[in-house]
Structure 1
Amino acid sequence: MKSRLVLKVNNLEESQHFYSQFFKWSEEWKDDINEIVQMRLPSGGAVLLIRGDGEKFKDYTDVAFVKPDPGQRFYIMGEKVEMLKQECIDNQMEYELEVDPGFGQLIMVEDPDGYIVSHWEELYMSDKDILSLYKNGIDRIDTVLEGLSESDLDLVRAEGKWSIRQTALHLIDSDMTLFHRIKFALAEDGRVYKNNPYDPNQWEAGTNYKERSIDTEVSLFKLIREHVLTLCDRLPNALNRKIQTEDQGELTVRKMVKMVAGHSKGHFEQMEETRMIHRV
């Protein structure tokens, strides 16, 4: 399996030891000049640890890969958060824990290079609640943005954070990228699907979030959700339909709808927080 996550590190041995000891990543192979190591995650994915500024690592990555900068967050899905929490406590490591009841929990730890390692674990939610959360996003995006001027859309909740405009465009892009997978699962139940992860920071810069209107995108967001909900209502066994992926295994429509509904929920809350801070 080729890697879809690349981390540039200052000290390869130190980083390899950190991830092996605390997160149980295992070495798959190392190059002859000790500049690239491929690590295997307990959940099955692969990550490249690299040092230096060369491009040789691209020989070992998938066509689509993510290469965050130190200080940025990256996500590892499907890990047992309570076990990782205990590991942090046992080793006196600082961590942050976020729990969204019925949806999921996230534990965040900073690595030696400043990356925010974010492990996500899904929690149980009924089908009725999943579809309700997804549907509520259609009205909530209007409520969150209601009455904001163009200048209001550029407000941020803290230095270095995305503005309301950037956050809105990001959550809409995330809905669109996951919609592709949902539609394939609904139309071709069980098919093999090659995931193409996207880098939110590249999409933000590459499509100029900072200066774009959001009106068309908001309309698209609502239409996509209405379309998915109609299909889930009309097609038999819709939520159990699925795609098979190399890096994430089986992904059901249920899981993907819940994932994107929870993602947007978090960003709606960030935009509401920004409005509260600036009293707009």
Structure 2
Amino acid sequence: MKDVELIKQYNEAPKKLVEALSGLDDSGLGKKRAKDKWSIREIAHHIIECDLNYFQINRYALADTGEKFIFNEFDPNTWNKNMEHSKRSLQLELQLFTIMREYITYLCNSLPGALDRVLIHQDGTATVRDALKHDNQHAYHHINQILETKRIHNL
């Protein structure tokens, strides 16, 4: 995938998430693919919670390329429970997702060699390009889960 396409796909993820959520009321947002799976609302919150971490990682790599960044692993199930994802509105989080992605897109388009800048972390080394690919894969994987849930429930 060309860098321009990668950045475009990265920047469009919030719009794709909003489209996937369109037409859902509280009842629809509570639907699950299966008994032990997260609801649509929980999946959407999870995408954005993870992106908050990715946002900081990407900013660090862009600002201080080649330096080591240690980030805490987090248990998504703990965050889901303690942040009450099953009960909370998505409105503010969707705005946050949009602005985070817009900001990283802006930096990638503005800074010389942005996608080649490097982050060193406890699991190895990655370029910003690698990180954006990962971020896209994560978001679109879960957006597809939302769409699958809607199909299962004819929403």
Tell me the TM-score normalised to structure 2 length: 0.95
2:124 matches 1:249: yes
For 2:14 and 2:89, how far apart are their aligned partners in 1?
A: 18
**Structure 2: runs of 5+ lacking an equivalent:** none
2:124 matches 1:262: no
Q: Which runs of structure 2 are paired with 1:1-280 in the superposition (5 Å)?
A: 125-245=1-121, 247-280=122-155
Higher relative contact order structure (alpha carbons within 8 Å, sequence separation ≥ 6):
2
Tell me the CA shift for residue 192 of structure 1: 1.4
For 2:146 and 2:126, how far apart are their aligned partners in 1?
A: 29
Tell me the CA shift for residue 136 of structure 1: 2.2
Native 8 Å contact 2:61 2:128 kept in 1: yes
Native 8 Å contact 2:29 2:41 kept in 1: yes
SS of residue matched to 1:209: coil
Tell me the CA shift for residue 168 of structure 1: 0.2
Q: After the TM superposition, which segments of 4 or more aligned residues of structure 1 sit over 4 Å from their partners?
A: none
What is the number of residues matched between the two proteins? Answer: 155
SS of residue matched to 2:120: strand
For 1:153 and 1:168, how far apart are their aligned partners in 2?
A: 9
What value does the CA root-mean-square deviation take over the aligned residues? 1.1
Higher strand content, 1 or 2: 1
Higher helix content, 1 or 2: 2
Tell me the TM-score normalised to structure 1 length: 0.54
